[in-house]
Structure 1
Amino acid sequence: MTHRVVLVTGPARSGKSEWAETLAQKTGKPLVYVATARRDPTDPEWSDRIERHRQRRGGEWTTLEVPIELAASLQQATPGSCWLVDSLGTWVTNCLDLDEASWSEVRTRLLASLADLPEIELIFVAEEVGWGVIPAYPVGRLFRDRLGSLVRDLGAIADPVYLVVAGRAVNLARWGVPLGPTPTLDRPS
């Protein structure tokens, strides 16, 4: 790879997006923010969150709204830029309607696309899931499994990998021992 992949993960409201934005700004490269959230005009609280994120970033960012076709959008990256994808949890949520075969294809396409990127900095923000109780509903377990596996696979590719908790960032690539990609699991029927 002639580019760098960075993963920033952590629980909700930990500061992971702010840390990722700080890392991106420190590159000194043209900044592209890939927003995976879908705007919903019937949800004013969600719209307010999106606006607060936009205001915090400031005007030097180009923003792309990419709710599904993440791999295709990354292929449009220009050399010498820094792309920040926020967030993988929202992207996985947008893909929950996909059956397992379709999800596997979309996920594989995203991971494979990382090998073909031009010389860029690429930062992914992802929520950590599975630190609490097992979700009571099938869609919650599906979300947890899909996002957890994707984050693990990106963690095997990315360097550095940051865990942000309570407003503090720890470089797991420096202190942790890599386990490698997610093993293939047989899903219960």
Structure 2
Amino acid sequence: MNQQISRRKIILVTGAARSGKSEWAEQLAALKNDPVTYIATAYRDSTDLEWEARLNQHRLRRPTHWQTKEIPLELATTIAQAKAPHCLIVDSLGTWVSNCLNEDGASWQQISLELLTSLQQSQVEVILVAEETGWGVVPAYPVGRLFRDRLGHLIRQIGIIADVVYLVTGGHVLNLSQLGQPLIKNQQSDDFIA
């Protein structure tokens, strides 16, 4: 059992749209000798041809021996059920957060806490891909602000517990765990954006 727990590692890969976040996460996973499961959080929509083309582009880039699971909502449960030796790629947190936007504040707090708990108790390596949405203009509409705030806060909470945090931008990968300093250490996970 101790060997399984020691294999657990949380890696957060964050950055802007089209920055190469997913490719970097895939490269990290490919370095492992463990089986890899790619957790796709997007809902498929056969009527949206551009969206389907994006999903297909991701699918074609992955090795065929990797397993893919489409998990738009039950992310915490999926992580909790994974057994070592294994590596999970979650792509992406932004899509998952958008899938949960209809949840009220209390439900979102519970869902977020379940995700953070599953990550901390996981027996496997989990590589999470997350979009940085807060670097631009504050959205003019309430749901846009809610999405940006929830995602930004969730990324911060995961960054606190992650073993390694990478920022992908401008065609480069920066290891923020080596270059930076955590803003807050050991912050409790009960402070959520509703």
TM-score (norm 2): 0.92
Q: 1:8-47, aligned counterparts within 5 Å?
A: 8-47=13-52
Whether the 8 Å CA contact 2:12–2:130 is kept in 1: the answer is yes
One of 30, 45, 54 as aligned partner of 1:49 = 54
The superposition leaves residues 76-127 of structure 1 with CA deviations (integer Å, 9 ceiling, x where unpaired) of 2120111000000000000001111111110111001122212x21100000
Q: How far 1:58 moved relative to its partner? A: 2.4
Task: Tell me the equivalent position of 1:137.
Answer: 141
2:63 equivalent to 1:62: no
Task: Tell me the equivalent position of 2:150.
Answer: 146
Q: Aligned partner of 1:170: which letter?
A: L
Distance 1:28 1:169, change over 3 A: same
1:102 alignment partner, SS class:
helix
Which aligned runs of 4 or more in structure 1 are off by greater than 3 angstroms?
181-187
One of 103, 106, 112 as aligned partner of 2:108 = 103
2:97 alignment partner, SS class:
helix
Q: 1:86-97, aligned counterparts within 5 Å?
A: 86-97=91-102
Q: Aligned partner of 2:175: which letter?
A: N
Whether the 8 Å CA contact 1:95–1:103 is kept in 2: the answer is yes
Q: Aligned partner of 2:77: which letter?
A: A
Task: Tell me the equivalent position of 2:191.
Answer: 184
The gaps in structure 1 that reach 5 residues or longer are none
Q: How far 1:186 moved relative to its partner? A: 8.0
The superposition leaves residues 43-63 of structure 1 with CA deviations (integer Å, 9 ceiling, x where unpaired) of 011011111100001202100
2:103 alignment partner, SS class:
coil
Alignment: residue pair count: 186
Whether the 8 Å CA contact 1:15–1:166 is kept in 2: the answer is no
Q: How far 1:28 moved relative to its partner? A: 1.9
Q: Within 2, Cα distance between the matches of 1:94 and 1:11?
A: 19
Q: How far 1:75 moved relative to its partner? A: 1.6
Q: Within 2, Cα distance between the matches of 1:170 and 1:123?
A: 15
User: Percent of aligned pairs with the same residue?
Assistant: 54
Q: How far 1:15 moved relative to its partner? A: 0.3
Q: Within 2, Cα distance between the matches of 1:185 and 1:95?
A: 14
Q: Within 1, Cα distance between the matches of 2:152 and 2:192?
A: 13
Whether the 8 Å CA contact 1:74–1:117 is kept in 2: the answer is yes
Q: Aligned partner of 1:177: which letter?
A: Q
